[in-house]
Amino acid sequence: MVLADGAMGTMLQSLGLGPGEAPEVWNRDHHEKVQSVHRGYVEAGSQIILTNSFGGSRYRLGMHGLEGEVRELNRLAAELAREVAGDDIVVGGSMGPTGELLTPLGTATFEDLKDAFAEQAAALVEGGVDYLHIETMSALEEVHAAIEGVRSVTDRPITATMTFDTHYHTMMGVSPKQAAEAIGQWGVVAFGANCGNGPEEIIRVIGEMKEVAPDAWLIAKANAGLPRLVHGETIYDATPEDMVNYARTVMNIGVKIVGACCGSTPAHVKEMRKAVDEFLGGAQK
| Structural domain includes residue 285 | no
Q: How many domains are there within the chain? A: 1
| Structural domain includes residue 284 | no
| Structural domain includes residue 114 | yes
| Structural domain includes residue 191 | yes
| Structural domain includes residue 94 | yes
The CATH number of whichever domain residue 35 belongs to comes to 3.20.20.330
Q: pLDDT tens for the chain, 285 residues: list them.
A: 999 999 999 999 999 999 899 999 999 999 999 999 999 999 999 999 999 999 999 999 999 999 999 999 999 999 999 999 999 999 999 999 999 999 998 999 999 999 999 999 999 999 999 999 999 999 999 999 999 999 999 999 999 999 999 999 999 999 999 999 999 999 999 999 999 999 999 999 999 999 999 999 999 999 998 888 777 777 888 999 999 999 999 999 999 999 999 999 999 999 999 999 999 985 444
Indicate the SS3 state at residue 113: helix
pLDDT, residue 235, reads 81
Q: Which ranges of 194-256 does DSSP label H, i.e. alpha helix?
A: 199-212, 240-253
| Structural domain includes residue 75 | yes
2-3 and 255-260 beta bridge pairing: parallel
pLDDT, residue 283, reads 43
Question: What global pTM score does this model have?
Answer: 0.95
Domain extent at residue 95: 2-278
pLDDT, residue 285, reads 43
| d(C-alpha 38, C-alpha 43), whole Å | 9
Given a contact cutoff of 8 angstroms between Cβ atoms, the answer to whether 49 and 38 are in contact is yes
Given a contact cutoff of 8 angstroms between Cβ atoms, the answer to whether 238 and 268 are in contact is yes
pLDDT, residue 282, reads 55
| Structural domain includes residue 133 | yes
| Structural domain includes residue 283 | no
